[in-house]
């Protein structure tokens, strides 16, 4: 995981975040690695996901009912989150026992968290307008507002004295009409974000053979709601059955999914086709998904470098040409004719002398830059960068022809 996480960090935008889902067996080890790669100061939160509805009664010791989501920011000073939208559950404690014309309200304690020594200006008595009694902060603490401000709150009927109006612990009214979105908590219940059984049900509606360890769409929706905005780019480097891509599509996020298993084609690709057609599973109704859009399905070409970082001797001309073009221009090559002229960019022409067999070093084999080979190359009046096995042209000739020669394999770099 270490090199993968290093790469994922480099791919992140400066205000981006990474969310890693693990169970008890690996989460603690992963956190040590993530702390090292991202820095402990960029650790955001460990979230517990209650993922099971029913206990595992056949468990030897405990029924393992939860997973962890380890959240890290690329740069915590630039990372911010979106709060959650309010629901009936969040608003159920708002009532209106005194028939306030401003509507339903909840209350918070008017006692501050400082002591009178630290903030003497917040230590004073408040007169209960119902009884005339002077009330002091309890236990030597302070009020949460200055004396002048408390008078304004009293005059505005924003301090609540309990049902009988005689409470010695006044509370401050907070109206539902001004209630803010909800701060996400670190424990996510399956009632709110789904569970594994729900995820499997979603799978069975789409596939005759469901993916083994799917995630519910509601879980991914919560993650993307908190950490992304409309049009942001989401990367899932272990795509599985395509849940992240499906949810990102429905939420109008751009996305990239990477998967080396065959379920990229058996699950991911057909699932996204169903999403585009307007399938109504998962979060579709919650986000009013009606279908539309599109996606591109790509297969990786041959590996350019082997496990030792050396150029793969089995590599074919189109793959090597595409790689060289990208490292020189940072642009995709697209479909080109098999020609030694790869393309031109910023007044420079790029050539590749390569026939698919690196060991061919003969001048007439086409891999070596000679005067004869140079005459056969497509003409370009300007700077030329030529990759080949070796060059038989002297420095003076190269300078005269405006050629920069780069030797294969030594000058072929990784990204």
- The sign of the CA dihedral 335, 338, 339, 342 is positive
Q: Do 109 and 170 fall into the same domain? A: yes
Domain span including residue 43:
2-81+184-277
**Lookup: tokens for 33:** 């690695």
pLDDT digits (tens, 9 = 90+) for 289-341: 999 999 999 988 778 888 777 888 788 888 899 999 999 999 988 877 788 99
User: Could you tell me if residue 190 is inside a domain?
Assistant: yes
pLDDT digits (tens, 9 = 90+) for 120-170: 999 999 999 999 999 999 988 999 999 999 999 999 999 999 999 999 999
Spell out the residues 6+ positions from residue 293 whose beta carbon is closer than 8 angstroms to its own: 249, 276
Number of domains in the chain: 3
Q: Do 76 and 204 fall into the same domain? A: yes
Q: Do 35 and 163 fall into the same domain? A: no
Q: Do 46 and 32 fall into the same domain? A: yes
CB-neighbour burial class of residue 75 (10 A; exposed 0-12, middle 13-18, buried 19+): middle
Q: Do 332 and 188 fall into the same domain? A: no
Q: Which domain CATH number covers 73? A: 3.40.50.150
User: Could you tell me if residue 31 is inside a domain?
Assistant: yes
Query: Residue 217 is inside which H or E element, if any?
Result: helix 217-227
Residue stretches of the chain with pLDDT short of 70: 356-365, 415
Q: Which of 256, 277, 298 delimits the end of a domain?
A: 277
**Lookup: tokens for 203:** 């799978």
Residues in the chain: 415
User: Could you tell me if residue 283 is inside a domain?
Assistant: no
Q: Do 13 and 45 fall into the same domain? A: yes
Q: Do 71 and 105 fall into the same domain? A: no
State how far the Cα of 112 lies from the Cα of 124, in Å rounded to an integer: 12
CA dihedral 235, 240, 242, 244 (to 10 degrees): -40
State how far the Cα of 376 lies from the Cα of 384, in Å rounded to an integer: 14
Q: Do 98 and 58 fall into the same domain? A: no
Q: Do 9 and 64 fall into the same domain? A: yes
State how far the Cα of 188 lies from the Cα of 387, in Å rounded to an integer: 55
Cα-to-chain-centroid distance, residue 126: 50
**Lookup: tokens for 75:** 């740069």
Q: Do 34 and 98 fall into the same domain? A: no
> What percentage of the chain's residues is helix, strand, coil (to nearest 5)?
30, 20, 50
State how far the Cα of 165 lies from the Cα of 153, in Å rounded to an integer: 16
Q: Which of 225, 258, 277 delimits the end of a domain?
A: 277
State how far the Cα of 41 lies from the Cα of 162, in Å rounded to an integer: 43
> What's the pTM?
0.77
Q: Do 108 and 35 fall into the same domain? A: no
């Amino acid at each position: 995981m270490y090199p993968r996480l290093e790469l994922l960090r480099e791919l992140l935008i400066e205000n981006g975040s990474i969310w890693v889902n693990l169970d008890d067996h690996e989460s603690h080890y992963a956190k040590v690695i993530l702390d090292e790669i991202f820095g402990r100061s960029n650790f955001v939160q460990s979230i517990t996901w209650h993922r099971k509805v029913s206990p595992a009664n056949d468990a030897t010791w405990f029924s393992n009912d939860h997973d962890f989501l380890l959240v890290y920011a690329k740069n915590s000073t630039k990372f911010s989150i979106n709060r959650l939208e309010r629901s009936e559950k969040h608003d159920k404690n708002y009532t209106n026992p005194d028939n306030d014309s401003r509507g339903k309200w909840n209350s918070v304690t008017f006692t501050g968290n400082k002591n009178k020594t630290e903030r003497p200006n917040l230590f004073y008595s408040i007169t209960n307008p119902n009884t005339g009694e002077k009330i002091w902060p309890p236990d030597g603490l302070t009020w949460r507002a200055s004396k002048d401000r408390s008078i304004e709150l009293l005059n505005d009927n924003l301090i609540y004295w309990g049902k009988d109006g005689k409470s010695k612990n006044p509370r401050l009214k907070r109206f539902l009409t001004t209630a803010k979105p909800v701060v996400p908590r670190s424990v996510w219940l399956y009632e709110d974000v789904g569970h594994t059984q729900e995820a499997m049900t979603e799978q069975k509606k789409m596939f005759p053979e469901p993916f083994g360890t799917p995630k519910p769409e509601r879980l991914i929706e919560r993650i993307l709601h908190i950490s992304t905005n409309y049009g942001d780019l989401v990367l899932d480097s272990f795509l599985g059955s395509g849940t992240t891509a499906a949810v990102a599509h429905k939420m109008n996020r751009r996305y990239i999914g990477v998967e080396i298993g065959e379920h990229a084609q058996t699950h991911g690709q057909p699932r996204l086709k169903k999403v585009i057609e307007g399938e109504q599973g998962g979060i579709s109704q919650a986000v009013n998904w009606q279908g539309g859009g599109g996606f591109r399905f790509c297969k990786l070409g041959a590996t350019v470098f082997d496990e030792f970082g050396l150029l793969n001797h089995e590599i074919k001309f189109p793959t090597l040409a595409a790689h060289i073009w990208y490292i020189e221009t940072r642009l995709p090559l697209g479909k080109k004719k098999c020609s030694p002229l790869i393309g031109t960019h910023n007044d420079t022409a790029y050539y590749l002398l390569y026939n698919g067999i690196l060991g061919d070093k003969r001048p007439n084999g086409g891999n070596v830059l000679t005067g004869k080979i140079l005459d056969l190359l497509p003409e370009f009046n300007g700077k030329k960068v030529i990759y080949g096995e070796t060059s038989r042209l002297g420095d003076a000739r190269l300078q005269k022809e405006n050629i920069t020669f780069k030797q294969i394999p030594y000058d072929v770099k990784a990204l």
